[in-house]
Structure 1
C-alpha cells in the first residue's frame, strides 16, 4: 500500500500512474475535493493526512515548500506505520532535506528526498528525471519502486541533501534561461525578426551544445587567450541595448550583464575571453 500527500498537478498524475501500474494508493490533499476526484480512478481519499498514511509502507509527498512538508508530515505522523518510508518529491532547501532526514531517522522512519525535473505529463507517463542522494542502502531499496514512476533516476551519491542542491541549481538555470529567452524575444521584436526566423536559427545552430564547454571555460584559471574578447562582447551588448531602446522596448538581463562587463573591463580584463565575467 502506498500513500500520496499533495494532489496538485504533479501529485495527482503520479497517483494516476501508480494506479495504472497496479498500485493501491491512499491520497490526501488540503483541499479535500482534489483528493476525492481521484477516487473515480481507483484511489482512496481521506480528509486527514494521518488516516491517509495508515497501512502504507511508502508515503510520497509533492507539496509547496519546506514549511508545507514539515506541517503535513507532523499531521500525518500519528498514522504512520512503523518502518514506513517517506519519499518527498517537493523542491525544498538543502538544509531542510538534511534536517528532515536526520529528524525522521531519530523517530524510527526513513525520509528520502527525491525531487524531480518533471511536469504533469511526465508524472502521468512516468518520464522525466528524478534526483536522489543519501544512504546507499535506502536508495537500493527504493530504486525498483522509484524507477517505475520516472524516466531516469539519477543517483548523486551518499551526501544527504545533494539531490536538493542539484534540483535548485537546475531550477536556477531554467529561471535564467527563461529570462534570457525573454530578452532574446524582445531584441528579436525590436529588430523585426519573427518567431519563425528565430526558431529556424536555433534549429540550425543549437547553443545548448555549448553549455559544457562554456562552464569549463568560465571556471578555468586562464582567460588570457580569448575566442571572443570581453571588449567585443561588451560592444555587442551595447548594440542589443541600443536596438531595443530605439524600438521603445526594454531588456531585463542585459543592463545587469553590461554593468558586470564594465566592472571587469575597468579591472583590466577587456582583452581577455569574455567568460572571465563568470569568475
Structure 2
C-alpha cells in the first residue's frame, strides 16, 4: 500500500500508472475534488491527509514548492507508519531538499528527493527521467520503486541536494533554449521564412550535438582563439534586432545578449570568440 499526496497533472499521471500496475494507492489533494476524481481509476481518496498516509509504506508527493511540501508533511506526520519512506518529486530548492532529508532522518523517517524531467504523459507512461542523489543505501532501497515510474532513473551520487540542483539547471536550459527558439521563429517570420523551412534547416543542422563541446569551452574559460569574433556576432545581432523591429516583432533574448556583447567589446574582447560573453559574469 502506498500514498500519493498532490494530484495535479504530474501526480495524476503517476497515480494512474501505479493503478494500472495493480498497486493500491491512497490519494489526497488540497482541492479534494481532484483526488476524488481518481477513484474512477481505482484510487482511494481521502479528505484528511493524516488518513491518507495511515498504514502505507511509501508516501509519494508532488507539490508546487518547498513551503507546500513542508506544510503538508507537517500536517500528515501523525499518520506516518513507523519506517515509512517519503519520496518527494517536487521541484524545490537545493537547500530545502537538504534540510528535509536531515529533518525527517532525525524524526526516524527516510526522505528522498526524486525530482523529474518529464511531463504528465511521461508520468502516465513511465517515460522521461527521474533524478536522485544522497545516501546510496536509501537510493538502492528505493530503486525498485522508482525504476517503475520512469524511463531512466539517474543516480547523481552521494551529495545531498544535487538532484534538486540538477533539476533547476535542466529547467533553466529548457527555458533559455525555448526562449531562443521563440526569437528564431519571430525572426524567421520577419523574413517570410516558413516554419517548414526552419524545421528542414534544424533537421539537417543538429545543434544538439554541439552542447557538450560548448559546455567544455565555457568551463575552460579560454576564448582567445575565435571561431566567430565577438564584433562580428554583435553585428549580426544588430541586423536581427533591426529586422525584427521593422516588422514590429521585438525579440526577447537577443537584446539582453547584445547588451552583454557591448560591455565585453568595451572591455577589449571584441576580437575574442563571441562566447566570451559567458565569462565571469558578476552583478
TM-score range, shorter chain: over 0.9
Residue in structure 2 matched with residue 133 of structure 1 by the alignment = 133
Aligned to 2:76: 76
The SS at the match of 1:269 is: coil
Listed one character per residue, the Cα deviations across residues 162-211 of structure 1 (whole Å, up to 9, x for unaligned) are 00000000001111112111111111111111111111111111111111
Q: How does 1:2-13 map to 2 (within 5 A)?
A: 2-13=2-13
**5+ residue gaps in structure 1?**
none
How far residue 221 of structure 1 moved from its aligned partner, in angstroms, is 3.5
1:37-116 equivalent positions in 2, closer than 5 A: 37-116=37-116
SS of structure 1 residue aligned to 2:157: coil
Alpha-carbon distance between aligned partners in 2 of 1:33 and 1:244, rounded to the nearest angstrom? 47
- Residue aligning to 1:144: 144
Distance 1:193 1:218 in 2: 32
How far apart in 1 are the matches of 2:192 and 2:225?
Answer: 35
The corresponding residue for 2:237 is 237
Q: How many residues align?
A: 279
Question: Residue 44 of structure 1: CA displacement?
Answer: 0.6
Q: Distance in 2 between matches of 1:109 and 1:248?
A: 57
**TM superposition score normalised by structure 2:** 0.97
SS state at 2:188 partner: helix
> Does residue 186 of the first structure (1) align with residue 186 of the second (2)?
yes
CA RMSD in angstroms, aligned pairs only:
0.8
For residues 240 and 218 of structure 1, what CA distance do their matches in structure 2 show?
24
- C-alpha separation in 1, matches of 2:248 and 2:60: 49
Alpha-carbon distance in 1 for matches of 2:257, 2:149: 40
Runs of 4 or more consecutive aligned structure 1 residues displaced over 4 Å after TM superposition: none
Deviations 1:134-170 (A, max 9, x none): 0000000000110001000000101110000000000
